[in-house]
Amino acid sequence: MKRYRAYFVLYVIVFAAAALVGCGGSDSSSSGSGDNSGSSGGGTNATGFPLAGLYNASENARDIFVTHISETGVATDYDFLGDSFDQGVNCYLMELTGTFTSLGDDRYFFEAQGFTSIVGSFEVTARIENSTLVFTRQDLSDADSDGDRDELITFGNPVITDQTLEDLQPICTDEDLFFF
């Protein structure tokens, strides 16, 4: 399950990056696409990385899992350990996931750096549709466990508009994790 979540989070991050870059499409207006400034929600940021924002990467209602993409393209996951899924202490486990680099035209290069189940680097496309970061990539790691590694897979993560990065507190300490 953690392996699938790691792939899901990676896909969500990739989708978020591409979605924010492509939210305008051929229409010059992007209103209603979940566009927010700064790091508090997924949206085009005039001063930073276009995918910067917070995205709901939870696999189910019991698991609170948030992905943050910084203004420099760094993706970090925040897993709340005090939810009914993890049943741990009331803190956020913060893990670096990787870095996005824009290739233009809704295309990004993602270099995985954190989760051991997400290995390597790959290209993804991403766009925002109905306030959801949607990304597509080749299923090199068979994330959907169907045996087909040549297919394209698509994932989506909702843009978070009612929280900021500062709301994801407290961050877990080593002592918190010792008892988990």
The whole-number pLDDT of residue 115 equals: 58
pLDDT in tens, 27-70: 323 233 333 333 334 444 444 677 888 999 998 889 999 999 99
The whole-number pLDDT of residue 64 equals: 94
Q: Is residue 83's pLDDT more than 50?
A: yes
> What's the whole-model pTM score?
0.69
Q: What is the mean pLDDT of the chain?
A: 73
Neighbours of 16 (CB within 10 A): 35
Q: What percent of the chain has pLDDT over 70?
A: 68
